[in-house]
Amino acid sequence: MPTDPLRCAGALIVDDDCRIFIQRRSPQRRTFPNCWDIVGGHLEPGENVDDALRREIAEETGWTLSLVLGLVGEYRYTADDGLARVETDFLVRVDGDLGRPRLEVGKHTEFRWLAEQDVALLDEHRDVNDGLIRRITEDGFAALRSIGL
Quote the CA–CA distance of 58 and 81 in Å, as a whole number: 26
Give residue-wise pLDDT tens across range 36-92.
999 999 999 999 999 999 999 999 999 999 999 999 999 998 887 888 899 999 999
Single pTM value for the model: 0.92
Compute the average pLDDT of residues 9-18.
97
CATH number of this structure's domain 6-146: 3.90.79.10
Quote the CA–CA distance of 5 and 78 in Å, as a whole number: 9
pLDDT of 129 strictly over 60 = yes
Which amino acid is located at 50 in the chain? D
Longest alpha-carbon distance in the chain:
44
Compute the average pLDDT of residues 116-138.
87
β-strand partners of 2: none
Comparing C-alpha atoms, which of 96, 85, 101, 86 is closest to residue 39?
101
Quote the CA–CA distance of 73 and 88 in Å, as a whole number: 6
